[in-house]
Amino acid sequence: MSSAPPRAVTISRPPSAREIFVNRAFRGLTHVFAWATIVLLAYILFEIGSLAVPAMNEYGADFVTGTTWDANREEFGVLPEIMGTLYTSLIALVIGGALGVAVAIVLSQGFLPPVLEHLMKNIVELLAAIPSVVYGLWGIFVVIPTVRGPAEWLHEHLGFLPFFDTRLSGPGILPASLVLSIMVLPTVAAISREAMVAVPHKLREAAFGLGATRWETILGVVLPTASAGIFGAVVLAFGRALGETMALAMLVGNANVFGWSLFSPGNTLASLLANHFPEAGRVEVGALMYAALVLTAITLIVNVIGSLIMIRASSKMQGLR
């Protein structure tokens, strides 16, 4: 009676010299690329800073608090642009963040059949691939005509409020913020969805076992558990909104003023750089590089604060002190 051949037995062995070399080479390569990224960032900041030094010495802190940008008189101030950057980004983040989280819930909690869910996920992610200038053209020919009627009604009936005390004549804060909210939506939706999918199924099953409904489970279990990931998505989206250029340059109005009215024109730091740099002289180039440093500082501060809050939230979720 023939017996079956013995199964191959895998015997553990120490790594070979080739495997050790490949592992060390790979680790070394990752370190090189990591440090190269830091060096590249430092080099970019050094080049921008070296061009901005004359303007920094000339205008100092008045550059940040000034409200006039006149290259002919060599008077430069970016306070309206700073306020416009923060204002449009915050409005876009509120709208795009809410829509992004809602989309993430629909795409991660079994509301759609798997095939349709996969299709919708790809469509949402493709929104991030649309060029900024295309969003700008869409805003000019679609968004502005669409919101002009409601904006006129709000001005006529609620014009006593500072948010509606001007008319929408064309490009302005509201059209720019609406388009910007669509641009940041894919970032919020994609990362929030991954955070919700990562929530353990046992938590959902425990909630259902205690008699919770689907929406009670989502609002009381899934969202709090995934809150750190969702907040990270919001921080990344805010960083993109702060640096968005072409769509804002086409839609915000490019007026060196700031008003709380959603229908008034305004400006942002990125739009200022895009519009003035091609024809800038030596003195204005220094001022523009100073403005670029201000924008970089704002983005850095936002990301640092967001990272600290995210670390604190993650620690609380894990029961750490």
Q: What is the pLDDT of residue 316?
A: 60
Q: 110 vs 190, which has greater pLDDT?
A: 190
Task: Report the DSSP pairing between strands 75-76 and 69-70.
Answer: antiparallel
pLDDT digits (tens, 9 = 90+) for 69-127: 888 888 888 889 999 999 999 999 999 999 999 999 988 888 888 888 888 888 888 88
Q: What per-residue confidence (pLDDT) applies to 255?
A: 84
Q: What is the pLDDT of residue 34?
A: 92
Residue 266 β-bridge partners: 253
pLDDT tens-place string over residues 125-143: 888 888 888 999 999 999 9
Checking if the pLDDT of 181 tops 80, the result is yes
Q: How far apart are CA 237 and CA 186, in angstroms?
A: 9
Determine what percent of the chain is predicted with pLDDT higher than 70: 93
What are the residue ranges spanned by the domains of the chain?
85-280
pLDDT digits (tens, 9 = 90+) for 8-58: 555 577 888 888 888 889 999 999 999 999 999 899 889 888 888 888 888
75 DSSP β-pair partners? 70
- pLDDT, mean of residues 146-168: 88
Determine the pLDDT at residue 95.
93
**CATH hierarchy code of domain 85-280:** 1.10.3720.10
**Tens digits of per-residue pLDDT, 235-285?**
888 888 888 888 888 898 888 888 888 888 988 988 888 888 878 788 888
Average pLDDT of every residue of the chain: 85
Q: What is the pTM of this model?
A: 0.84
Residue 91: CB partners within 8 Å, gap ≥ 6? 173, 174, 177, 180, 181, 262
**For residue 321, what pLDDT is reported?**
40
Q: How buried is 32 (Cβ within 10 angstroms: 0-12 exposed, 13-18 middle, 19+ buried)?
A: exposed
Higher pLDDT, 59 or 33: 33
